[in-house]
Copies of this chain bind each other. A is one copy, B any other.
Amino acid sequence: MYGLISRLKAVPGRREALVAVLLEGSAGMPGCLSYVVARDPADPDALWVTEVWDTRESHRASLALPSVRQAVERGRPLIAGFGERHETEVAGGHGLGG
């Protein structure tokens, strides 16, 4: 399984709008086993997104989905910048239902 751990910063005051776009845009992505959006309690503009995919190819293919492309368009003006980003090789776990 392929994983991603990413941190991003919203435009000040727009974090909740970005959360909504990310959650809506990530529904029903084939091969996506887990997609979690979390606020950083220590930074009012920061978010963490953690993802698990069956394969790296499924993740790549998701970027072409109409729902994801629309979310990227809507999310772009809400994002101030990107922080650390880690690709992982997921060994297993619980809550990988998709």
Contacts and interface: CB of A to CB of B under 8 A. Distances in A.
B39 A93 contact: no
A38 to B, nearest CB: 4
Main secondary structure on chain A at its contact with chain B?
strand
A62 to B, nearest CB: 12
**How many copies of this chain are found per oligomer?**
2
Interface residues of A, number: 34
29 contacts: A3-B38, A3-B48, A5-B48, A26-B94, A27-B94, A34-B36, A34-B94, A34-B95, A34-B96, A35-B93, A36-B50, A36-B52, A36-B95, A37-B90, A37-B91, A38-B52, A38-B88, A38-B91, A39-B88, A39-B89, A39-B90, A39-B91, A40-B88, A41-B87, A41-B88, A47-B91, A48-B86, A50-B50, A94-B98
